[in-house]
Structures are given as C-alpha cells and as structure tokens.
Structure 1
Amino acid sequence: MRLVKMFLFVLLGLFAVITIIGLFIPSSVKISRGIIVSADSSKVYKELSDVKNWNKWLPWITADSGAIVQLSPVTNEPGSYFRWKGMKINSAGTITLQSINQNEILLLHELKDMNKAEGGFRIRSTGANNNVTEVLWYMEYKLKWYPWERFFGIFTDRIIGSAFDKGLEQFKTYIEQADVNSNASASITMEN
C-alpha cells in the first residue's frame, strides 16, 4: 500500500511540475509565411478572395487527390467557405472568409484536431508597375491551458508553417503559370 501511495504522490508531483512549466509557455502561436509572386496584385486578390480557386493550390488538397471538397453556394464574399476531408491522408478542415478588402482577406481556420484560429492573407504590391505582389499567409493559434496542448504549441509553427510554405509555393506556380498563359493567348490574338 505504501508503494502505491508513493507512486501516486510522484505521479501527482510530476503532473504539477509539467502543468507549471506549461503555464510559462505562451498561450498562442503566431504562424506566418510569405512569398513574392510575379503577378498583378489585383489578380492575386481575385484568386485569393474566391474559395472556388483554392483547390488548385491549397496544400491539404493537392497532397490528397481523392479529397472530398465542399464549397459554399457563394464563393467570394464573407461567410464563404472551403471544406475538405482527405481520403489518402488524414486531414480535414474548413476555412471561412471573414472579411475581404484589397489588402487583406481575413479567415477562420478550423483544421482537424486543432482549435479554431483566426488569420488571413495580406496582399501588397511591390513592383514598379504593380506586376510583383507580396503575399503573406498568417494565423494565430490560441492554446488552451492544458500542459500537453501548450507543449504541442511549440511544434505548431513547424507543422502548419510547412503547409503554408507548400501552399504559397503552389499558389505562386499556379498564378504565374496562369499569367503566362493569358499573356501568350493575348499576344496570339493580337497577331491575328
């Protein structure tokens, strides 16, 4: 009986120490990734503000070709959402447009096994002729007081940040390729 009491005392002490250490870990994680895109900022804004275009570059969809996607009836105004459930990889979530303006699109991220998180896209023209655009994808993930969640928060930036990096690279490729194709077809039309 004494051994059981000692074991419970040690277990309780360990839990208390881990909880106290967890309280010193920040209660939110800010994740942000950016990329420079060779495209007009109005085109970038148009693509990001309409959820029907997201299946071409959203990392959780491009990594799982069998993912089931559901879009809101209206896709380009506040309240519009992009929902998916992965079939090959274990991912699911909903991203909802909260507000939209030319420089920033606010989002609500609801990713599987994670708390809701606010974030969005910031769009800034950096080129002399508005032909280069900086895109920043960010999210603030709030953690609960549970020690295991606080410790998980240490790795959240690495996990979600890598998905943001992949998504932005795919977005850059998609938007720049679409820009090249539209310029090529415009020059063919002008030659005829």
Structure 2
Amino acid sequence: MRIIKLAVISFVFFFGLLFLMSLLVPSRVRISKAINLAPTDSTVLNLVRNQAEWKRWHPAYTADSARNQQLTKVTDTDTLVAFDITGRAPYPVRNSWEVHRFGAQDSLTLQWYMDFRLSYLPWHKFSSLFYEGTYGQMMEMGLNNIKKASTEDLR
C-alpha cells in the first residue's frame, strides 16, 4: 500500500512540475520565413490568393494530405494575404504572406509566417518546440516553389 501511495504522490508531483514548466512556454508561437523575388507583387500574391494554385507550390497541398483541412481567407490586400487553416489542431493556424518592397530595388521580399495558438496542456506546449523543424522546412520549400512558379509565369 505504501508503494502505491508513493507512486501516486510521485505521479502528481511530476505532473504538477511538468505543468508549471509548461507555463514558461508561450501560448502563441510564430514561425517566419522569407525569400527575395524578382516578380511583381501581384504575380506572387496571385499564387497565394488562388487556392487552386496551391498545388503548384505548397508542399502540403501537392498530395491529397490536405483534404481534411478547411481554408478560410481572413485578409486579402495589395501586400498581405492571410488564411486560417483548420484541421486536427484545436485552434486554426493563421498562414500569412506579406510582400515587402524596399525603395527602388528591383526585387521584393515575400514573408510567410504561421501563427499557432496553443492550448494550456503541457504536451501541446512542449510539442511546439519542434514546430520550427517541421513547419520551417515546409515553408522554405514552399517559398522556393513560389519563386520558381512566379518566374515561370513571367515568361
């Protein structure tokens, strides 16, 4: 009986400690990637605005892996396009693409950022520490694909 009591107290103590440590992890996480491009703003953002074009450049949408996700356009301006993607996560993930121009340079910068809202559960917060490795690579591939697709459209 003492061993069971010790096991229960140890489990409660370690779970409480884990929960307190998870409070140090922020409940909102943003991953951001950017690339320099030569095309015009409208060419680049048209690839993002039009969901049918996502098969050309978005790594998650080239296969049937994204069919259980719902896309909702949140913002669509001359320099910013944002979608909420709802899937298995408890909260939608905001994907935003923003075009930045710097003076009279002949190129532009396309920034893609993903905003995650996390629940209070410790395993959700600790799993967010691995988002950069998972989603960051996908975002880099997507931006390189946008660069290729936008230069093809200019030809």
2:90–2:119 contact (8 Å) kept in structure 1: no
Q: Normalising by structure 1, report the TM-score.
A: 0.73
Aligned to 1:46: 46
2:44/2:146 contact within 8 Å kept: no
Q: Does 1:32 find its partner at 2:32?
A: yes
- Deviating 4+ runs (over 6 angstroms): none
Other-structure match for 1:149: 124
Contact 1:44/1:133 (<8 A) preserved:
no
C-alpha RMSD of the superposition: 1.9
Cα distance change, pair 40–126 in 1 and its aligned pair in 2 (3 A):
farther
| TM-score normalised according to structure 2 size | 0.89
Larger helix fraction of residues: 2
Q: In structure 1, the residue corresponding to 2:86 is in which secondary structure?
A: strand
Q: Which residue of 2 aligns with 1:104?
A: 80
Aligned partners of 1:114, 1:126: CA distance in 2, in Å?
38
The structure whose RCO (Cα within 8 Å, separation 6+) is larger is: 2
Alignment of 1:1-192 (within 5 A): 1-62=1-62, 64=63, 67=64, 84-85=66-67, 92-113=68-89, 115-126=91-102, 128=104, 131-180=106-155
Question: Number of residues paired by the alignment?
Answer: 155
CA distance in 1, matches of 2:77, 2:121: 36
Structure 1: state its 5+ residue gaps: 69-83, 86-91, 181-192
Structure 2 letter corresponding to 1:5: K
CA distance in 1, matches of 2:111, 2:21: 32
Give the superposition deviation at 1:128. 3.6
Between the aligned partners of 1:13 and 1:52, the Cα distance in structure 2 is: 51
